[in-house]
Structure 1
Amino acid sequence: MLQPLLHDLVGTVMAPTGALSGTDGQLRPAGVQGLFHADRRVLSQARLLVDDTEPEAVGHAHDGAGRTRFVSLARWLGDSGADPTVRLDRVRELTPYGMTESVEISSTASVPVNATVTVELACDFAAMDAVKTGRVTGFPVPAAAAGQGRLTWRSAGAHVIVTGQGAEARPGDEPRLTWKIDLPPRGRTTLSWRLVVQDPAGAFVVPAAGPPEWSPPRVDAADRRLTRLLDQALADLRSLRLATPDAPEDTFLGAGVPWFLTLFGRDSIWAARMLLPLGTALAGGTLRVLARRQGERLDPRSGEAPGKIMHELRRHAIVLGEDGRRVPAAYYGTIDATPLWISLLHDAWRWGLPEHEVEPLLPHLEAALGWLADHADPDRDGFLEYVDTSGHGLANQGWKDSGDSIRFHDGSLAEPPIALAEVQGYAHQAALHGAALLDAFGRPGADRWREYAATLAGRFRAAFWVDGAHGPFPALALDRDKRPVDALTSNIGHLLGTGLLTPEESAQVAGLLGGPGLAEGFGLRTMSALDAGFSPLSYHCGSIWPHDTAIVLAGLAREGFDAQAATLAEGLLAAAESFDYRLPELYGGDARHRVGRPVAYPAACRPQAWSAAAALTIVHAALGLHPDVPAGQATLRPLAGAPLGALTVGGLRVAGGEVEVSVAGDGTATVTGLPDGMRLIPGR
């Protein structure tokens, strides 16, 4: 069984509902196509026919959050001649609990047009994990009649109702909606149908309430790619907003379509962190949702431990792969979500998260720090490490969580327990961030965590650094025998900005990140092309992930390595052009001089929250504004020489107020709208 491919499908989403179709708009009973709601496929076919023939597709475009337009032709109708005269615009619009389609049929023919329009439907109620692994073995559920123009499907967990306005509905094993149309010369008509999902079993995620937690920024960019990428990204992020039934007021971002449209600790945290320049409300919601599910007990099966932040939330236990491994609905198999949660709390506080929102989270902060001390280092060697003791969970529990992602330079696999390089950086930063919060709110223990960070930095320096063809660098990880896993990977870029490296070490890392082995593609490769395990279409050993590239370029920019940061930003912008400005989860790591455009990774999710949020990271790195609201100051350090061209962004948020930053073509930057009394400190 093989995982269905996604690269040539078109996603439309309004969480927790998402549709995947062909580029022609057809939902066919194959692979992962269909309409999904909260981890269940509620429509496995919606095939549009005109006179029992599929129209010929000519194009499609995303049209805002949750809306896609598909254009096709019925060339056998209307006038004869070279130019088509009958056009269909199929407009798909998703809601959190269903989908509406309008079929606009327009004729420019000089003769009347008469036709029969049909939508063939099917529903199989397949579970998302069964679809993902290619294990769908069931058959479509027969449709029942539910009144004029209405069809219905029922299962133990859901009720689906389809209504075709003015249509004749045929129930049974081959359900369909049918319309007869009679258009006069140059006439037009619009047909419509809608699907509604009722979820009597109770949802585990619900739509976010109210408008987005951010306002669209006002962007004037010399490089128009940046504006187009940001516009599409914010539309996608708006459609990925979710909440949980117990706290519908707290919003987080679902990780991505189709497999990960739910709460994901690491992904939701990173996306919220990247969006901090647009306000702290999303960060606050994400922090609270995860704090409510913070671990309280030791459970090897789920990976739960006291103080630990969870990995993912599902409707039910899911199968991870072809070997039948199952993880619980609430799964904690992640080594990095807990320190990242601490740093999100700290960064949101610096951007102006109000104290009355920070203070209730301080006990959770202390519990998360406690996990670092008591449970993250089971063999007490001073490093955070993971091993799946259950035998049913993820073998690798960092962001590169595929089973073959942790490889030595010679391509051999590392054996767990594994201590990842970037996770030590996250822990170092989290300890310092935790100490700052404890001091600021008059709570004890800050000195302990500063000492923890200093000790970790010394241990890391002694254990992780190895020699390579281009000089010393941090290893990807330590394996079960404490051997450095000596592949050169993007992971080391996540160390920048964490404080774990000395300035000299940061310069060495930055030089390697900017070298051809890692940076000659459309962004940053996950593994150097000089390593034996490299493959440009490997999930984690040579591909390019936009969020990974964005995290590293932000670290490069923050530490003053502007040329390398600009190279990575340009790579992402070039890739964005090729993907209609909707960056996928990942794509191929081929060198730019070998391919004219990035090669799609065939199973990549799109839209993906942290890939979309990467657009804002590019903007933020170019502007270089870093506020510290509690300290009453902000630094301004744009990329030297304005490598992305002149850029002005208004509508940024610092302590709830609007701020505008402008970078001229020569790199000169100005900022207006900072809160009263806040000092601006030039970063150069």
Structure 2
Amino acid sequence: MLDGATSPSPAVTVIEPPAPAPAHRLQPLLHDLVSAVMAPTTALSGGDGQIRPAGVQGLFHADSRALSQVRLEIDGREPEAVGYAPHGAGGARFVALARWLGDPSPDPTVRIHRVRQVVPGGMSERIEIVSTASRPVTATITLALSCDFAPIEVVKSGGETTPAAVAGGGPGELTWGSGGIRVTVAGVDAHAEPAEAGRAGRLCWPVTLAPRGRTTLRWDVAVRDPEAVVIAPARPAEWVTERGGPRITATDRRLTRLFEQSLDDLRSLRLAETGAPADAFLGAGVPWFLTLFGRDSIWAARMLLPLGTELAMGTLRVLARRQGTRLDPGSGEAPGKIMHELRRHEFALEGDNLRLPAAYYGTVDATPLWISLLHDAWRWGAPEAEVAALLPHLEAALGWLAEHADPDGDGFVEYVDTSGRGLANQGWKDSGDAVRFHDGRQAEPPIALVEVQGYAYQAARQAADLLEAFGRPGAGRWREHSAALAERFRARFWVDGPRGRFPALALDRDKRPVDALTSNIGHLLGTGLLTGAEEAEVAALLVSPAMAGGFGLRTMSAEEGGFSPLSYHCGSIWAHDTAIVVAGLARAGFGAQAAELAGGLLTAGETFGYRLPELFGGDDRETLGHPVSYPAACRPQAWSAAAAVTIVHAALGLYPDVPAGRVLLRPLAGAPLGALSARGLRIAGAEVSAAVDADGMVSVAGLPAWILPETAAGRP
């Protein structure tokens, strides 16, 4: 190298940081929010009672957010939350502290109790300020209030919203309006401050408390929404009586507490269709699905038949009025088909191809389940005139099964979304990835689900019983139909796995068995599609560690390639799914297995404050010792709340056949859930009490004189 020469600089490679991934919106989380609901209105807040302008917090009415912010401040500061608890149906109580007020001591001397009560079309709050201080307390109480009228589908998809301007108001009053919706907030003795740039509207109260004094402030909100498609029913639930409604006493106090909370939640989820307030049904769940859902509303009503038939008949009539009459690929409608979902307008999630019309029929199972609900309500003693009035709709539903449920003619009920904008999967596991092979591959439609064949088989047999009992033609045809379906099913669905034989989850487009072990096969129990030996094979697999190693029944075995404990349908645990299988096991005589799964739900109920969510994680029990929340699960949710009634019913084992004048008594053998007594059950409209003692002996009282109790071996 020459003197004075410089070596060339080494080449420098500049590594650019990777481009950020395209932003996508996330569905807001629910698991840590407190809900108070009286359908069609719901309040969702933090555990401190504050409703903040974020995520899914807000006061919702019939799929629209009425208030997006309700924030309490004392002298410009938020109080410090210390606890909350449910406060009856539609209510919640929150407790907080204002430690900067009162005596200068380590102990707080000023407490705030916020008692919230949601009613159909509104909400009220009492703000109780209690001082134990030795000196007077002076403060200004402020409520910051905003309204954005966001549709529920925008909130669900994490979309952006803009606060609406205050449209007017009077003394102590603020009003917002959008289209036909009007929201009015009024505070008793409050001073109202309309919203200004960058600030919410406000209600303000100056407060002075004497030493050890207290005061109560009151405010309420009313929502006027003439365009809503659902309203509150005209009458209270039939199980709400002067005697207080159904009550149970159980050795296991968890069951008692779960039952009581579930009844409160079921009362609060009752809805009616606008224009038909006499026919009640259950909205599916808070907040995403608080409307009419064919499958969900049917299953919930079916699970609640031990409390009476009125809800079942209302649900049947509402769905019958919207039964399909034409072929429409866009909505999935077909003659005789029962609908899936009802909204005020098209339901379209931002960033998703899903676009469901306001009345959507994309469900393969609601129609046979509608038939089974009509049959079961008849057996429980629904008025014969009401049952007879629905028989033309039964025949139309059978027409759908015969002409439209099997588009390729292979003899199985199947589905495919031909619109490209509807639900890709149309059974109860309706997420896009729900139907998977053992190795994790997704099945391609058309898909024939295993449980739907069971539903169709049972519906055909039950429809035959109804047609025959009411002197209408066709019973023989449908008994032959069910027998042929059973033969085809036995030839095509059963597969072998490492733990033995079991029915496949489905048949795919190429008629291959989708060989994953899932909870779906538990829905076959009690349908009659399986022989006794086949039921025993299924029962053994359902309580294997891979299926029952969590707190209930996993939707998919932990040994499957697609398993994930926090997948919506591929490894999580759904309370209603577990309860349906508990009922099937109980009826088939597998009491120990039924009790094992029920015990998992009772532990989960304790974890979730006895308000079972829509679903929760399917992790092993040893992972945390309690179930993991699924963060976007609805809570309360109709068929999850109904699970408590199903557990009680399975333990007691009352199986009425009112037209035949008898009720079979078949409790879980040996009372594996402990002693249990229930009052306020209903058979043929009569209030009935039933009990199982610690030895498993059952007794029943209050039956009409013409209905005789029988045990499996004959009359007691």
TM-score bracket, shorter-length normalisation: over 0.9
Tell me the residue number matched to 1:192. Answer: 218
Identify which of 433, 444, 454 aligns with 1:425. Answer: 454
Tell me the residue number matched to 1:158. Answer: 181
Partner Cα separation in structure 2 for residue 271 and residue 524 of structure 1 = 18
Matched, 1:580 2:617: no
Query: What aligned pairs does 1:151-550 form with structure 2 within 5 A after superposition?
Result: 151-173=174-196, 174-200=200-226, 202-215=227-240, 216-320=245-349, 322-550=351-579
Partner Cα separation in structure 1 for residue 665 and residue 564 of structure 2 = 39
**1:145–1:170 CA contact under 8 A, matched in 2:** no
Q: Deviations over 1:555-598 (max 9, x none)?
A: 00000011110001100000000000000000000111222110
Identify which of 642, 649, 668 aligns with 2:671. Answer: 642
Matched residue SS, 2:641: helix
Which amino acid is 1:28 matched to? R
Tell me the residue number matched to 2:154. Answer: 130
Deviation at 1:674, TM superposition (A): 1.6
**2:248–2:677 CA contact under 8 A, matched in 1:** yes
Tell me the residue number matched to 1:15. Answer: 39
For these two proteins, the number of residue pairs brought into alignment is 682
Which amino acid is 2:497 matched to? G
Partner Cα separation in structure 1 for residue 704 and residue 397 of structure 2 = 32
Deviation at 1:298, TM superposition (A): 0.2
Tell me the residue number matched to 1:596. Answer: 625
Matched residue SS, 2:430: coil
Which ranges in structure 1 are unaligned for 5 or more consecutive residues?
Answer: none
Q: Deviations over 1:599-632 (max 9, x none)?
A: 0000000000000000000000000000000011
Matched, 1:34 2:58: yes
Matched, 1:6 2:30: yes
Matched residue SS, 2:615: coil
Partner Cα separation in structure 1 for residue 673 and residue 616 of structure 2 = 23
Percent identical among aligned pairs is 71
Matched residue SS, 1:178: strand
Matched, 1:46 2:70: yes
Q: Deviations over 1:47-69 (max 9, x none)?
A: 00111111111111111111100
Partner Cα separation in structure 1 for residue 570 and residue 326 of structure 2 = 35
**2:168–2:176 CA contact under 8 A, matched in 1:** no
Tell me the residue number matched to 2:21. Answer: none
**1:320–1:327 CA contact under 8 A, matched in 2:** no
Deviation at 1:98, TM superposition (A): 0.7
Matched, 1:605 2:628: no
Deviation at 1:675, TM superposition (A): 1.6
Tell me the residue number matched to 2:20. Answer: none
Matched, 1:89 2:118: no
Which amino acid is 1:254 matched to? G
Deviation at 1:246, TM superposition (A): 2.4
Matched residue SS, 2:644: helix
**1:490–1:526 CA contact under 8 A, matched in 2:** yes
**1:265–1:310 CA contact under 8 A, matched in 2:** yes
**2:446–2:508 CA contact under 8 A, matched in 1:** yes
Deviation at 1:520, TM superposition (A): 1.1
Tell me the residue number matched to 1:79. Answer: 103
Partner Cα separation in structure 1 for residue 180 and residue 456 of structure 2 = 41
Which amino acid is 2:187 matched to? G
Deviation at 1:9, TM superposition (A): 0.5
Distance 1:321 1:384, change over 3 A: farther
Matched, 1:139 2:162: yes
Deviation at 1:321, TM superposition (A): 5.9
Deviation at 1:676, TM superposition (A): 1.1
Deviation at 1:320, TM superposition (A): 4.2
Partner Cα separation in structure 2 for residue 557 and residue 408 of structure 1 = 29
Matched residue SS, 1:58: strand
Q: Provide the aligned C-alpha RMSD in A.
A: 0.9
Which amino acid is 1:204 matched to? V
TM-score w.r.t. length of structure 1: 0.99
Which amino acid is 1:190 matched to? T
Tell me the residue number matched to 1:106. Answer: 130
Tell me the residue number matched to 2:144. Answer: 120
Which ranges in structure 2 are unaligned for 5 or more consecutive residues?
Answer: 1-24
Range moving further from structure 2, 543-552 or 659-668: 659-668
Q: Deviations over 1:396-450 (max 9, x none)?
A: 0000000010000000100000000000000000000000000000000001100
**1:17–1:94 CA contact under 8 A, matched in 2:** yes
